[in-house]
Structure 1
Amino acid sequence: MRRAVTRPPLYVRRPFLAGLLRQLPLLAVLGVVGAGLLMVGVGHWRQGLAVVGAALVGAGLLRAVLPVRRVGFLAVRSRPVDVVLMAGTGLLLTVLALLIPAG
């Protein structure tokens, strides 16, 4: 009978890769925020701020559904506080950006 060969976990075999994979939610949020800020920079400030707000709402949703070992640096405080602050700030930013009258 063959014995099963157990491999060490990824964080032991490749710690850099494991750390990078753990930060994928944060990198995704930062990518969307960067795209929104680029839109603000080229003159589409209303749409850009709406994209940044949507990224923050998405960060709140990711924080709400992902386990602590997968969420990386999106976990700063307790889960309820993180979700309320990120999603609330994103919603408020989006609403304010869309409500300001175009000049």
Structure 2
Amino acid sequence: MTRPPLYTRRPFLAGLIRQLPLLVVLVAVAVGLLMVAVEHWRRGLVVIGLALVAGGLLRLLLPVRRVGFLAVRSRPVDVVLLAGVGIALTAVTLSVPGG
């Protein structure tokens, strides 16, 4: 006898697993914001920028059924916006003199 799929046996766990890519990105952004709050603004903003780039890569590489709420628009638009903003934030942060 085959077992029913996870989403029928444990719907909460299945939903949580589906949202893992978004959770990873949000945790990384939270770590970056915490770093900014404790006055390591340059490192914190670089962490946030790299988290956004990672979100773009996850959106590009994962299938639609696994990407969860990282899929907001079409795949090309999501990837370009996430990676573009992440690269721009990192570049601007690293180009500010001082520090």
Deviation at 1:58, TM superposition (A): 0.1
1:1-103 equivalent positions in 2, closer than 5 A: 5-102=1-98
Amino acid at match of 1:49: L
Q: Which consecutive aligned stretches of 4+ in structure 1 deviate over 2 angstroms post-superposition?
A: none
Q: 1:12-55, CA deviations, whole angstroms, 9 ceiling, x for partnerless residues?
A: 11100000000001111111101100110000101100000000
The alignment yields a C-alpha RMSD, in angstroms, of 0.8
The whole-number CA distance in structure 1 between the counterparts of 2:79 and 2:31 is: 22
Any gaps of 5 or more consecutive residues in structure 2?
A: none
Give 1:44's aligned amino acid.
H
Q: What is the count of residue pairs matched by the alignment?
A: 99
Give % identity: 72
TM-score, scaled to structure 1: 0.94
TM-score by length of 2: 0.97
- Cα drift, residue 87 of structure 1: 0.3
Q: Which structure has the larger Rg?
A: 1
**Runs of 5+ unmatched residues, structure 1:** none
